[in-house]
Structure 1
């Protein structure tokens, strides 16, 4: 049986500048290189899953500017169903200026643009197609009310959901997201949502369990080079990272989530899917860019064989 992923979320145009170092206030520096790519947390996660062979549909909004057609064409090229991607008259597309340092670390600004027009009505409009999905992914680069509406709609229809609460907002109402199946924050987002410190592993687990006490089934905390932690009411599992030499960490978290979604809808095995996702995310940071850095199924298989040969194929 074909299993399907829905993404209700953002798209962005990545404006990527590779820098030797970040300028200080009032300082002008020459940067070595620049490129334009397609990004946005929602589109990134959709593309990562689709690159691995998942059937993915996306509900999003683009502007009516020069970036819109390129964004649509890019999603189609990667095999994402774009029937529910709409242009918003008079709006710019979302953009994300990204600055990448030699270490691979990045700093990002986002301008939501047309993503701010992804309203709850868009979910209702796409409802017939979303009902065929087994998992729906969301992020916080679109209106919060749309995220709440999607979670509550999915819960009524028995569809599992994943929320990546990025960028995190302290006023996110936990009672409105309590029906989400998977919450996937990084440690700073976890601190913002829980109001608790996350400086140590014990504090991370305590903060995650605070959120679980609100009704969330599973919290997956991404920790960069330290891997991830899978936390439930009675279980804590460390997901180990794969050691690689990073070239560009932009979009690694989205690679992790999109690939997890692919493996989870395929197997329904959370732990095994997270282990695969950690390897997929590691591969993504060995390449420059975001979506163009994501591995196809064959590229991932080759990388896994070299860097995680003991990991079962699923």
Structure 2
């Protein structure tokens, strides 16, 4: 499919958090106090990260979510607006604080994350209904699981009703998805841990990712893309056999926003009319750059970096 002349439009429905990031030599054991290397406070949340990624990688973006009436909320909103993201559908809670993520990154560049939902828990089905116009303007709608399940279902339902291309990043996954969700989704994009949680299968290699992708298609998913870190991506499109895409080889520093960068880049390309294969390869290049930098949103590249790579 040829690329459109105009920038595509992506609407992200999801979470915004302030990330509190500690770097340490390894993950602490239960009850252990461990000396860390460094600390940073940076904008994050899967919804916010994916919105920033889609914007930096070429799309017009709207963010639908909720922040608190606090300093973190002000900073997160200002950061999105500085990226050119439409925040008309970003509400402010009068009672709940802005969401927070506590992140530990070890010397192997792996991370562990604890999320406090805060105002993200106040994104409701009524919120979705109030901002139907933000969904209507998009070619692609992205959802994750850091807002209440009823809200995610409402967003998926509205996007399907409006005929949008729907991407669901099932993160964090705590078990199989409701069966009535899968027909509403065009592209289900879990990582290896999420794919394992959704299917009950081990997912530690491309071959196992293919089995998990097939299981998710059998459960009703139309198209499944399983990201498996340095091992690349497995894509199971429609009735075609699953296909493995090798990842670019880079020296990883911090993997915190790699998956969000992939999804934002993939969505931006789809919104502009790219083929699925081209969108996957573009998103992989973007994610490979992001892991060479520290932080969540600070690590996300811009479109010119991908085009020049």
Q: TM-score range by the shorter chain?
A: over 0.9
Post-superposition offset of 1:31: 1.6
Q: TM-score, normalised by structure 1?
A: 0.92
Q: Deviations over 1:106-131 (max 9, x none)?
A: 11111111101111111111112311
**CA separation of 1:16/1:91 partners in 2, compared to 1, >3 Å: closer, same or farther?**
same
Shift of 1:23: 2.7
Of 153-162 and 280-289, deviating more is: 153-162
Distance 1:92 1:165 in 2: 24
Is it true that 1:272 corresponds to 2:278 in the alignment?
yes
Is 1:82 matched with 2:87? yes
* Secondary structure, aligned partner of 1:48: helix
1:85-100 pair list within 5 angstroms? 85-100=90-105
1-structure distance, mates of 2:174, 2:106: 26
**Shift of residue 199, structure 1, vs aligned partner:** 4.5
Q: Is the 8 A contact 2:176 2:197 kept in 1?
A: no
Aligned with residue 289 of structure 1, among 290, 295, 300: 295
1:153 match: 158
Preserved contact between residue 57 and residue 264 of structure 2 (Cα < 8 Å) = no
What stretches of structure 1 of length at least 5 have no aligned partner? 305-314
Instruction: Identify unmatched segments of 5+ residues in structure 2.
Output: 1-5
- For the 8 Å contact 2:173–2:194, the answer to whether it is kept is yes
Distance in 1 (alpha carbons) for counterparts of 2:7 and 2:104: 39
- Specify which of 179, 191, 205 is matched with residue 196 of structure 2: 191
Quote how far apart the aligned CAs of 1:101 are. Answer: 1.1
The answer on 1:241 being equivalent to 2:230 is: no
Report 1 or 2 for greater relative contact order, CA contacts < 8 Å, sequence distance ≥ 6: 2
- The separation in 2 between residues aligned to 1:106 and 1:176, in whole angstroms, is 29
Counterpart of 1:67 in 2: which secondary structure?
helix
Higher alpha-carbon deviation: 231-240 or 144-153: 231-240
Corresponding residue for 2:142?
A: 137
Which stretch of structure 1 is more off in the superposition, 201-210 or 34-43?
Answer: 201-210
1:229 corresponding residue in structure 2: 234
Alpha-carbon distance change, 195 to 22 in structure 1, aligned in 2, over 3 angstroms: closer
Give the match's secondary structure for 1:122. Answer: helix
Q: With structure 2 as the length reference, what TM-score do the two structures score?
A: 0.94
| Contact 2:20–2:101 (8 Å) recurs in 1 | yes
